[in-house]
Structure 1
Amino acid sequence: MDWILDNLWQAWLGLAIVLGVAEMFSLDLVLIMVAVGAVAGMTTALLGAPFVLQAVVAAGASVAMLALVRPPIAKRFHGGPELSLGHGKLVGQRAIVTQTITGLEVGRIKIGGEIWTAAPYDEHLTLVPGQSVEVLAIKGATAYVHPVGVIES
């Protein structure tokens, strides 16, 4: 027991290494934060502080790491790009009118290599073949489109 009290920095280092290795198996970013606290305790021991102060510094550093550093890192690791599937990925895309579209008659557009039934988002518009449009919504199998460059007032 006297050896541990005389070499507390080595005990803190050993604890940090064990926690670091254990983190490799758990991968939940908790043990590595506690390991950083052990390194802070080791640094305090190297400065010659009493054990109680070493323990307080280690605990404080661990809590600070868990509260301040882990949440943004965990969010970054566990989050990912937003994945759009199905027809929802077509909203906001540009398309080309292939068949005249009016407020009274649906037409066709080509978007993403597919032909879709389309209606004008503003029922007073007439869209002619070759015109570039943007898909504003999709309801069922009909895309609601608006010409690109037209500003509503």
Structure 2
Amino acid sequence: MDSMWWFIGAMALGIVEVFTLDLTFAMLAGGALAGGAAALLGAPLWLSIVIACLVAALLLFTLRPYLLKSLRAKGELIETNAVALIGAMARTLDEVTETRGRVKLSGEVWSARTEDDAPPIAEGIEVTVVAIRGATAIVAPEKGE
């Protein structure tokens, strides 16, 4: 009977995973399945909890990074938020230096900086976003500029 709750928990985590698509809840569901299997085989509750935690941690730190990397390589993972802006084109609105600057990126004005020890980029130049740090885009000029 105790194992039933583990499997219900795994199902609930699987449902949450369907809506998040981050593979985190899938790994936690795998841990819950392992805890349920241990309970089904007669393990005491404390041992089931330990097994569930160990399996979930193992899946989170080994299988999840591998799966995300392979999904990104195949182009099947749609990046969102700041990660999606890396590699995007922008236009400088004023001079961009290591300490200040602004760019027009995806229709919005962003504060921008160059990489450390990079020369300033003049106003009106097409740039590529190489990183996002907080609310600041780190940019580099286009190869032809």
Counterpart of 1:13 in structure 2: which amino acid? F
Matched residue pairs, number? 77
Instruction: After superposition, give the CA deviation of every residue in 1:2-50 in whole Å (9 maximum; x if it has no partner).
Output: xxxxx21000000000000100000000000000000000000011111
Distance 1:67 1:24 in 2: 20
Deviation at 1:79, TM superposition (A): 3.1
What is the match of residue 2 of structure 2?
8
Distance 1:48 1:16 in 2: 18
Counterpart of 1:56 in structure 2: which amino acid? V
What is the match of residue 18 of structure 1?
12
Deviation at 1:76, TM superposition (A): 1.3
Distance 1:46 1:80 in 2: 38
Distance 1:24 1:65 in 2: 17
What is the match of residue 43 of structure 1?
37
Q: What is the alpha-carbon root mean square deviation over aligned residues?
A: 1.7
Counterpart of 1:12 in structure 2: which amino acid? W
User: Which of 57, 62, 77 matches 1:63?
Assistant: 57
Max Rg structure: 1
Structure 1 segments unaligned to the other structure (5+ residues): 1-6, 82-138, 141-153
Deviation at 1:57, TM superposition (A): 0.1
Instruction: After superposition, give the CA deviation of every residue in 1:89-116 in whole Å (9 maximum; x if it has no partner).
Output: xxxxxxxxxxxxxxxxxxxxxxxxxxxx
User: Which of 20, 27, 32 matches 1:33?
Assistant: 27
Distance 1:69 1:15 in 2: 20
Paired residue secondary structure (1:35)? helix
What is the match of residue 77 of structure 1?
71
Runs of 4+ in 1 over 3 A off after TM superposition: none
The sequence identity of aligned pairs, in percent, is: 39
Distance 2:64 2:3 in 1: 25
Counterpart of 1:39 in structure 2: which amino acid? L
Instruction: After superposition, give the CA deviation of every residue in 1:104-138 in whole Å (9 maximum; x if it has no partner).
Output: xxxxxxxxxxxxxxxxxxxxxxxxxxxxxxxxxxx
What is the match of residue 112 of structure 2?
none
Deviation at 1:77, TM superposition (A): 1.2
TM-score (norm 2): 0.50
TM-score (norm 1): 0.48
Deviation at 1:80, TM superposition (A): 4.4
